[in-house]
Amino acid sequence: MGMESWWSKFISVCSFILLLLNATHCFSPVQSQALGQVDECSALLQFKESFAIKKSVSADPLAYPKVSFWTREGDGNRSNCCSWDGVECDEDFGHVVGLNLSSSCLYGSINSSNSLFRLVHLQRLDLSDNHFNFSQIPSRFGHDLSSLTYLNLSNSLFSGQIPSEISKLSKLSTLDLSFNGQKFVDDSFPLILTKGNLRSLVQNLTNIKKLHLSGVDIYSTVPDILVNASSLTSLQLDICGLYGEFPIGIFHLPNLEVLDVNGQLVSEYSLSWIASLTNLYSLSLWATKFRGKFPSFVANLTQLSLLELGGNEITGQIPSWLMNLTQLTTLNLGGNNLSGAIPRSLFQLQNLEILDLSSNSLSGQVEFDQFSQPKKLKNLRLAYKKLSLQIITNLSATVPQLESLDLTSCNLTEFPEFLKYQSELRFLRLSDNNIQGQIPKWVWNATRETLLFLKLSSNFLTGFDQNPINLPWQNLYHLDLRTNMLQGSLPIPPQSIINYMVGSNYYSGEISPSFCNLNHLHILDLSNNSLSGMLPQCLGNSSALEILMLMNNSFHGSIPQICPVANSLKMVDLSYNQLQGKVPRSMANCTRLEFLNLGNNHMRDIFPSWLGALPALQFLSLRSNGFHGMIGKYATNHDFPKLCIIDLSDNGFSGVLPSNYLENWNSMKSVDESQQTYFLVISTADNNSAKYSYGFAYPYSITTFAKGVELKFIWTPYLLRFIDFSSNRFEGEIPAGVIGNLRGLLFLNLSNNALTGLIPSSLWNLTALESLDLSRNQLSGRIPGNLAQLTFLEYFNVSYNHLWGPIPLGQQFGTFLEDSYQGNSGLCGKPLSKKCDSSISLPPSIFEEDEDSRFQIALDWKRQPRGTRGRRGHRN
């Protein structure tokens, strides 16, 4: 019985084990694989639903929304997501291991609860070229996606501190966080990596081969730990705020093939060690402040396929030995001081695809057919040269099919005929030449389907051949025809257009409602034309529009309801028209608005104090309209928190100066000496158009009456600060305690009002002041002697008041003429002919104690007066 009982139990146990094995076989791996895939597919669909689709947010012209093709199948619970666009699964278990959503037009934020972090088997993730709305990179990347070997979040507008948890991704071989935030627009929302985190990042990522942090705000010295990253094959650290010398050890990394340190300080001594990087095939040293002769160490880098030395101060001639770098496909020498002729040997580089020789001092005659010798040439830039470019008429057969051509400022007088045969051209720049007449039809026939970018500004063009109503280029996204002689009605661009700039021409007629249907439009510049009629009511409805420039036309009627809902508008300039009515209250929704110019119209309204709630508004001009009444504060949260410039001149405002606003304008209370730069464009009283330079940011044009004349400026945010309340009916005293705190002011104009009382001695605190105009008021008393401390003061006018006593002595006051003081019968002393009686005490000198300020005044002789060194950045 014992043996039978044992055997029976054995049989039962075996049967149970077989049953378990069979049950396990029924669910694994197929059923568990299916269950896992269903969850991952569901996570992908939730990820898709967390974003809006906006084609305009991806920079790649060929971008498309890959997630639009993701859909559930069958009963709605099962999806074969492995076949979806951008999704990669492993063959064994069906897990999602790869996700490539680069240039997928995604707009929205990624937070820590995003379904992306349920894809725990991900090994490769590419979310580059999207818009993640300045959200921070969640720390869960490091916690939940630990299998990642490839992570690319570049060009996707993340912001804030890079989480330290990223360093836990120990399997990473590629990390690309480059060019996020808006670092190249206005220094806001940068992606930040502290020095300590950079060190731990390099220490922990022991398998890293490609480290790309270009544009990340690191702002530290280059950590020595980088020299130990022996597995690195690609290092890109351009424009990171790194300072100090690059450790020489970096130039000894044995496997380094790509080195990109654009915009960083690299000494000539350090550069000499690059010659030891014999595996290097890509070297980018753009804007590294290198100066001197062409670096000879380059001759040793015979494997180079990419060489970028642009934006430096390299002098002398282009060396002929460059022909020995036979692998070169990209050669960028633009923006240096190279001189002499282009060596013929350069054209023997048969693998050359990209050649940039722009913005140098190269001279001599160049026959364009020489550029036909590199048969693979696709991108050619010869802009801004002293070259005499010889283009023969029968060149068409030999010029290779180019994708990009830049002949800006090359003294062209007509369209090069070889363009007739360039059927693959995508980018064409012919601006700043002397091309006259019409744009020939053969230019657009050849490029109808391919052209994406066209810049023909600053020529003498009069129109398009056959005057088409609709522009012929089907995929064009950038059109710049500014500063020509174009006439007739505005040509309608294709739906693909992003930037439409035709300012400073002779276009006439009304704006077609078709412009309201351009859903991807970012920039609309119709300024300085002869356009008329009423503005289309739909014009400000676009969610993508950022720049709206309609100034100096003849538009009439009321302003449309701009921003009926929140949108992307940053700049609105409707000045110098005949617009009427009130400021539309819908503009309270323009939460990203930085610049608003409604000056020189026929508007009648009270002060729109509700604009003070706009968090980004920096510039406000209502000058030369019919605004009236007292400037009252609307509410406690309407303080214009970032206002730098306000121009209310030539209106009917009354009452006392708005000290309740002045005391809260914090952006005017400080000045950054390192950023006191602006460009004075025109110093006349006409309405000539300002010239714009197009780049990452669209510069703002400012016209103001300061320094005794009408001035026009090109201004970028946070650089200029001024107040102009002139030619109104303000009365009462100048609020001394408040006005003296606005230390960042460059211009202050309170002229032509009915102000009374004394000139506040607290104005001495405005140490950056360049122009002070208090003329044509009813001010009395003396001119405070401590104003002589304003060593940057170029213009001073207190004429036609009731001032008396001696004019202060010293520094800038020795440069002001008699008309600065006329109309004050009680004033005496130089430059007036009236001498001061001995009974009239002189004002305190600049070294004596000022009774009002109650501290010793001492002049800083190290700071040179602006009035003696000319205007910085002056453009002829």
Could you tell me the CATH number of the domain that includes residue 669? 3.80.10.10
Does 757 reside within a domain? yes
> Looking at the 3D structure of the chain, how many domains does it have?
2
**% the chain with pLDDT above 70:** 82
Q: Is residue 850 part of a domain?
A: yes
State pLDDT tens for residues 21-72: 454 444 444 444 554 578 899 999 999 999 999 887 888 878 999 999 898 7
> Mean pLDDT, to the nearest integer, of 454-463?
96
Q: Which helix (H) or strand (E) holds 547?
A: strand 547-549
Q: Is residue 205 part of a domain?
A: no
Give the angle 465-469-472 at the CA atoms, nearest 5°: 70
Alpha-carbon span 333 to 175, nearest angstrom: 29
Q: What is the pLDDT of residue 246?
A: 75
pLDDT of residue 755: 98
At residue 655's C-alpha, the angle toward residues 652 and 657, to 5°, is: 100
pLDDT (0 to 100) of residue 43: 96
CATH number of the domain within which 61 lies: 3.80.10
Is 353's pLDDT higher than 90?
Answer: yes
Q: Domain for residue 727, yes or no? A: yes
Cis peptide before 831 (omega within 30 of 0): yes
Whether 620 and 644 have beta carbons less than 8 Å apart is answered as no
Last-in-domain residue among 100, 133, 166: 133
- The pLDDT tens digits of the residues spanning 75-97 come to 444 468 999 999 999 988 899 99
pLDDT bucket at 677, cuts 50 / 70 / 90: very low
Is 89 within a domain?
yes
Cα angle: 190, vertex 261, 304; to 5 degrees: 140
The per-residue pLDDT for 184 is 41
Is 60 exceeded by the pLDDT of residue 312? yes
Tokens coding 801: 């008041």
Q: Which of 281, 102, 243 is nearest to 176 (CA)?
A: 102
Q: Which helix (H) or strand (E) is 581 found in, with range?
A: none
Check residue 27 and give its pLDDT. Answer: 41
Find the helix or strand (DSSP H, E) in which 427 lies.
Answer: strand 427-429
Q: Look up residue 9 and give its two tokens.
A: 């139990």
Higher-confidence position of 462 and 251: 462
User: What percent of the chain has pLDDT above 90?
Assistant: 61
Residue 539 clears pLDDT 60, i.e. is over it: yes
Q: Can you state the angle between helices 30-49 and 2-27, rounded to 10 degrees?
A: 30
At residue 701, the pLDDT reads: 64
Q: What is the phi/psi pair of residue 136, to 5°?
A: -80, 155
**Lowest mean per-residue pLDDT among 184-198, 258-272, 363-377:** 184-198
Task: Identify the pLDDT of residue 101.
Answer: 98
753 forms beta bridges with none
Does 17 reside within a domain? no
Residues forming beta bridges with residue 707, ordered by sequence position = none
More confident residue, 811 or 280: 280
Helix (H) or strand (E) holding 272: helix 268-272
H/E stretch holding 175 reads strand 174-176
| More confident of the two residues 3 and 232 | 232
pLDDT: is 763 or 841 the higher one?
Answer: 763
- Average pLDDT rounded to a whole number, residues 554-583: 93
Q: What contacts 431, CB < 8 A, 6 or more positions away?
A: 408, 409, 455, 456, 457, 458, 459, 480
Of 73-87, 103-117, 512-526, least confident by mean pLDDT is 73-87
pLDDT in tens, 613-642: 999 999 999 999 999 999 976 666 678 989
DSSP 344-411: GGGGG-TT--EEE--SSEE-SEEEGGGGGSSTT--EEE--S---EEE--TT-TTTS---SEEE-TTS-
Residue 662 burial (10 A CB sphere; 0-12, 13-18, 19+) = middle
**Confidence (pLDDT) at 569:** 92
Q: Which of 257, 218, 213 is nearest to 238 (CA)?
A: 213
Question: Which strands form 802-806's sheet, in the order they lie side by side?
Answer: 628-630, 652-656, 729-733, 754-757, 778-781, 802-806, 826-828
pLDDT of residue 598: 98
Q: Are 570 and 547 in contact (CB under 8 A)?
A: yes
Residue 862: its pLDDT value, please? 29
Nearest-angstrom CA–CA distance, 219 and 192: 9
How confident is the model at residue 198, as a pLDDT?
80
Query: Are 242 and 221 within 8 A, CB to CB?
Result: yes
Residue 501, domain member (yes or no): no
Q: Is the pLDDT of residue 150 over 70?
A: yes
- Inform me whether the pLDDT recorded for 231 exceeds 50: yes
Q: Which residue, 509, 590, 581, is CA-closest to 542?
A: 590
- Cβ-based neighbour number of residue 278 at 10 Å: 11
Average pLDDT of span 115-143: 95
Confidence band of 687 (pLDDT split at 50, 70, 90): very low
Residue 402 has pLDDT above 80, yes or no: yes
- Phi, psi for residue 271 in degrees, rounded to 5: -60, -30
Determine the pLDDT at residue 3. Answer: 52
Question: What mean pLDDT is predicted for residues 531-537?
Answer: 95
pLDDT at 51: 96
Choose among 395, 437, 386: nearest CA to 413. 437
For residue 29, say if its preceding peptide bond is cis, omega within 30 degrees of 0. Answer: yes
Q: Print the domain residue range for 637.
A: 630-675+717-869
Q: Does the pLDDT of residue 420 top 60, yes or no?
A: yes
- For residue 425, pLDDT beyond 60: yes
* Least confident window among 259-263, 377-381, 491-495: 259-263
For residue 246, count other CB atoms closer than 10 A to its CB. 23
Closest CA to 704 of 722, 716, 728: 722
Q: Give pLDDT, residue 707.
A: 62
**Structure tokens of 866?**
């602006």
* pLDDT of residue 740 exceeding 60: yes
d(CA 400, CA 758): 74
Domain closes at, from 81, 111, 133 = 133
pLDDT greater than 50 at residue 867: no
Which one of 133, 154, 169 terminates a domain? 133
- How far apart, in whole angstroms, are the C-alpha atoms of residue 264 and residue 854? 47
- 219 pLDDT band, cuts 50/70/90, is confident
Question: For position 673, what pLDDT does the model report?
Answer: 47
CA distance 467 to 509: 15
For residue 692, tell me if it sits in a domain: no
Helix (H) or strand (E) holding 42: helix 30-49
Range from 120-124, 225-229, 764-768 carrying the lowest mean pLDDT? 225-229
User: What's residue 779's pLDDT?
Assistant: 98
The radius of gyration computed from the CA coordinates of the chain, to the nearest angstrom, equals: 33
* Residues 324 and 301 sit within 8 Å (Cβ to Cβ): no
**Average confidence (pLDDT) over 411-434:** 92
Does residue 500 carry a pLDDT above 50?
Answer: yes
Cα gap 365→344, rounded to integer Å: 12
Closest CA to 103 of 137, 54, 69, 43: 54
Q: Residue 40 carries which DSSP code?
A: H
